[in-house]
Structure 1
Amino acid sequence: MTMIVECSTCPVRGLQCDDCMVTALMPEGVELPLDAAERMVVTRLVRAGLVRPDVAATATARREPWEVRRVVAG
């Protein structure tokens, strides 16, 4: 059984991403396709001459490990 999650249709995308269970289920180091905002940034970098088109064509996103944060009441 395969489950496909499409973040672009999530009703709370951008609001609740930090609490998203989907990212917790993905193993670290998994390469993901760039989303629309990331593709736009890479395109601008190519147009500015800061990134070669062949390098941009292979760009992927990667899930980074969660940081453990502690809040200390004082």
Structure 2
Amino acid sequence: MLTAFKTEIAPTKEQKEKIIRSIGIARFLYNHYIAYNKKLYKMYQRGLLDCKQKHFVSANDFDKYVNHKLKIKLP
């Protein structure tokens, strides 16, 4: 049998803003990750990428992309 626990939180105004901001950032990064992979796959389908080049970016590689390139582009 599985058990579940409900927990109620009562964040302050500043904490609510930070939670909303964090969720927004996570949504932005997820959508950017999906769009980036779609772009790579379409390039692969059209023959713009070699067989040796990746047509899919893993989460770790995307994390490196975010920290080195996207972070500079969008501070």
Structure 1 length normalisation: TM-score? 0.36
**Which protein, 1 or 2, shows the higher relative CO under an 8 Å CA cutoff with sep ≥ 6?**
1
Structure 2 length normalisation: TM-score? 0.36
> Higher strand proportion, which one?
1
> Higher helix proportion, which one?
2
Structure with higher Rg: it is: 2
